[in-house]
Amino acid sequence: MMEQRIREKAVRAVSDILKSAGYDVHHAAAPIDLSAISGSTYLVVVCSDDQDEVTRFSETEYTVKGDQGEKICEKLLVTFDPGIEGPDCVVWYAEEFARYAGESILSKVIGRQLLLPLGDSDAPVHGREFAEDTSGTGIKIPHLPVRVHREEAEEKAGVPGVATLKFLPYWLYRYTSRGSGTFKDQDVSFDGSGVGALNAINGSMTDIDPDTVTRRSIPQGAEVIRPQIDKEAADEKITGLLIQAMTRKVKARQVKGDAIYYEEKNVAPERSNIALELRELFIPIWQIKGKKIIEINAFTGERLREPMDDGVEVF
């Protein structure tokens, strides 16, 4: 959940961005953070990482009385959690927020009004994803952006064949562990937190930076692969792996008379000590089919060691 001080900073930054785009901006009463007007565009803004609050905002219709009668307001959601969904909102995740904040500063430096893809603006929706086809499919899923293009992937593969873009399912997880274990006179702390991702097809683990996740439309023609490991099974597997990773072998020294000996025991955290949050995530790969199947991570450009099973089900 977004801390209050972070929310206040985000609201101020969004206000500056909108003002750079020519909006008349005002602070609003809860649950709205800001209201803004530019020409015939009326905008209400909420900055939040709380899915319940976002859902209420997304499902509520806001109207304002103008010169030509009642007009429906557009809704802008600013969130730094890539798993948050606001179906009826324009959503700025961390990537969009950072881009428009930077463009706002630049517009002030060069003395030019900022163009935003809101309301009646003709500003394009920028994106680093798949420059060969920016139209998208209309399908919006949480995913890593495509930074490696088809020709580059085919060159990296080193085999004849045409690359096909696929989005592989993963479970993005965040965990927090609390508590400790004891053996003899030794204490082992299990306090910690972290993030990662589980491949929802083969169960392999990978590191992930949640700030790189976006929810723009995926490129046209891309395939979205169905997960073969459901959320419950992923929770069980990830928790087990975390317990295994945090388990410590403790050696205790014992003295009895003239004899000295050592006793060892594995001390592990209890499942109840680990809080785990799972969200859906898709990672793009280029699949090149020749004499053999080669797959290239379309975000990092790395070649996958274990190609995806060709029999997986596509959405």
DSSP per-residue string spanning 276-303? EEEEEEEEEEEEEESSSEEEEETTT-PB
Helix (H, G, I), strand (E, B) or coil at 70: strand
pTM: 0.57
For residues 208-228, give the mean pLDDT: 85
- pLDDT (tens digit, 9 = 90+) per residue, 106-144? 988 988 888 887 765 544 433 333 333 344 555 778 889
- pLDDT (tens digit, 9 = 90+) per residue, 168-208? 999 999 999 888 887 777 788 888 889 999 999 999 999 98
- Phi–psi pair at 242, nearest 5 degrees: -65, -40
Spatial distance between the Cα atoms of 273 and 192, rounded to a whole number of angstroms: 11
Per-domain residue ranges of the chain? 4-110, 150-297
Inter-helix orientation angle 94-110/4-20, to 10°: 40
Model confidence at 300: pLDDT above 50? yes
More confident residue, 65 or 294: 294
**Strand spans (E) along 205-273:** 205-206, 223-224, 248-256, 259-267
pLDDT for the residue numbered 68: 67
Instruction: Calculate Rg over the CA atoms of the chain.
Output: 25
Spatial distance between the Cα atoms of 270 and 194, rounded to a whole number of angstroms: 17
- In order of 2, 7, 37, the CA distances from 12 in angstroms are 15, 9, 16
Q: Which two tokens stand for residue 175?
A: 């965990």
Class of domain 4-110: alpha beta
Residues 148, 177 contacting (CB under 8 angstroms): no
- pLDDT (tens digit, 9 = 90+) per residue, 243-271? 988 888 887 777 777 777 777 778 888 88
